[in-house]
Structure 1
Amino acid sequence: MTQSTTVQVGRFHTGRLAEGRPQALNAWRFTTDDPEVAARVAALLGGQPQPNEGGGALAHEVLTNRERVRVLMDGPDAAAARMVLWGCEGIIHECDGFEFLSPEEKMGQPCGCPSRLKDRKTAARDGRGPMPSINLTFRIAAEPALGGFHFMTGSWELAAQLPDLTDALERVGGPAVCDLTMELVVFTTKAGRSVCYRRPVVTVLGSPGTVALEAPPPTSPSPSPAPSAPRRRARDRAEPSVQPTPERTCSVDVDAVLLRRAAQALGISDPQEIVVAALSEVVTSQQRAMELARLREHVERIAAIAGQAQALQSADPSLA
């Protein structure tokens, strides 16, 4: 069965709407009009079929517990991409990064987009250029007969990966076993703010028969979805700043000497237990990454104050 003849039965998503607000997810969401397909996807990937209240025209949704799904992609055509700039009345600019794809009278002509992806991204942010529109088509490797699925994204990271992805699919020379992953990205901004978000990544593993057709199950249950702030401008959609951080992925490293100095300033006899309790409370929150960073800053400030106090006491014992 080739991708071209496979009936499309549903879509995968990395987010949904909750009470009208965009919500980023830590695991794949699936939507379909077929209740039997929804039930089967839930059996394969976890979660429960339910009426679709998270956005989109399809009637049923499944919030799976998988951040990685093993799929079959049939050749390089399974990763289709274009660059699109939308206006109030529809598409203003559509190209492949080099030549126009529409309208018909401009098809094949140079589109004028910058050659470097970085410059294209800047133009898109400024509202002067198109953004990626990527459509991945695939089947679930563990049950290919279930039908075809697709995932649409405007990810610039995936756009940068596409040449390597299509080359890898071409080398397989037929259906390729791939991992479709919502990869966690954690970084600190120049302002010192901790930011986490998920980006789609496709990894080509090989041909069927040489690779297991079912991805290993998650090591622990995925945390519940964490709502993200509404996006203020359309040009921000490609890079949402979201703070959902699974406990198994992010950790906090606090220096023992720093804790002892902070404990002396606070008059705490057992600093380790106090900090562990505080961290446990923070980790349960939906914005744990930001709160952990703030907690560490507070501990460092306390330690600095304690160090200054000790220095003053050493210089003038009467201050004790």
Structure 2
Amino acid sequence: MLDIFATDPEAKAAREEREAKFEASKRPDWSFQLRSGKRNGNQPVSLREWRITTPKLETVNALKELFGGVITEAPNGDYALDTDRDRLEVIVDASKIESKLIQWADGLPIHECDGSNYLSPEADKGKPCDCPRLLDDRKEKAKQRRGPKPNIVVPLRFPQDEDLGTGKYTATAWSFAEDLPYVMAQLSRIDGEALCALRLDHIEYEKNGKPQSFTKPVLSVIGSYQDAIAGDPEN
């Protein structure tokens, strides 16, 4: 049997580490996931209203009661709720937000960094990464699939029904990454969990005389969640 790792145990260990991370991430233990896009065949499509996916029928039915919309089937077999909401209020714990840059190949991360230093593999952790210094160059390299792009995981709950459990939104937009330091600064001034809004802003502009548009995901801080509860007469 072919054994290309027989003379290179370090390469074998690095591959096993990537494989373990991939296996751990395939079916994360999230009650639901917010999505700002979907696939139409092999073509990615940005959405103007939030899509929420979940493996649980009772969860998608409860979400439909809260937000309306149409239930369909997601490509991975989960239930998908296409809402008519471009803004959702969510509860966020800043300490649980994870942010990094990742480049994927064949379903596995081949470059993980914080923008300055490698986060994996373990042998390279803490060493300077080879990302360009200028932001525009980083974007261009990622666009050409020669460099990493943002991977920001925001765990969240819905204030309307906390029994639905914890879900997440994974942002890969550069605009979201550019906003994140300012959002984190606002969150740092709040003691405990924050009440936030996740929006899908539809941006229209002209380029070379032709109309263009895109959807921009935005996380905005409303205030302290505990203060919001204290001020709600129903609580």
TM-score range, shorter chain: 0.7 to 0.9
1:59 Cα shift? 2.1
Structure of higher CA gyration radius: 1
| Partner residue, 1:12 | 34
> Normalized against structure 2, the TM-score is what?
0.78
SS in 1 for 2:209: coil
Alignment partners' CA distance in 1, 2:183 and 2:33: 20
The RMSD of aligned alpha carbons is: 2.1
User: For 1:21-170, what aligned pairs fall within 5 Å after superposition?
Assistant: 21-50=43-72, 52=73, 54-55=74-75, 57-78=76-97, 80-88=98-106, 90-170=108-188
2:228 maps to 1:206: no
The AA in structure 2 aligned to 1:61 is A
Alignment partners' CA distance in 2, 1:142 and 1:68: 14
The AA in structure 1 aligned to 2:157 is R
Alignment partners' CA distance in 2, 1:132 and 1:207: 27
Alignment partners' CA distance in 2, 1:137 and 1:197: 25
SS in 2 for 1:17: strand
> Normalized against structure 1, the TM-score is what?
0.59
| Partner residue, 2:194 | 176
Q: Name stretches of at least 5 consecutive residues in structure 2 with no aligned partner.
A: 1-28, 231-235
2:213 to 175, 196, 213: 196
1:23 Cα shift? 3.0
The AA in structure 1 aligned to 2:174 is W
Q: Deviations over 1:208-265 (max 9, x none)?
A: 254489xxxxxxxxxxxxxxxxxxxxxxxxxxxxxxxxxxxxxxxxxxxxxxxxxxxx
| Partner residue, 1:216 | none
Tell me, yes or no, if the aligned pair for 1:26 and 1:198 is still in contact at 8 Å. yes
| Partner residue, 1:3 | none
Tell me, yes or no, if the aligned pair for 1:68 and 1:179 is still in contact at 8 Å. yes
Indicate how the Cα distance of structure 1 residues 142 and 198 shifts in structure 2: closer, same or farther if over 3 A, else same: same
1:14 Cα shift? 1.3
The AA in structure 2 aligned to 1:49 is I
| Partner residue, 2:8 | none
Alignment partners' CA distance in 2, 1:59 and 1:40: 15
Tell me, yes or no, if the aligned pair for 1:205 and 1:211 is still in contact at 8 Å. no
Q: State the identity as a percent.
A: 30
The AA in structure 2 aligned to 1:70 is E
Q: Would you tell me which structure has more strand in proportion to its own residues?
A: 2
Alignment partners' CA distance in 2, 1:36 and 1:112: 46
Tell me, yes or no, if the aligned pair for 2:193 and 2:226 is still in contact at 8 Å. no
User: For 1:213-228, what aligned pairs fall within 5 Å after superposition?
Assistant: none
User: For 1:242-257, what aligned pairs fall within 5 Å after superposition?
Assistant: none
Alignment partners' CA distance in 1, 2:211 and 2:189: 39
Q: Deviations over 1:121-140 (max 9, x none)?
A: 12223443211111111001
Q: Would you tell me which structure has more helix in proportion to its own residues?
A: 1
Alignment partners' CA distance in 2, 1:170 and 1:92: 32
Q: Name stretches of at least 5 consecutive residues in structure 1 with no aligned partner.
A: 1-6, 214-320
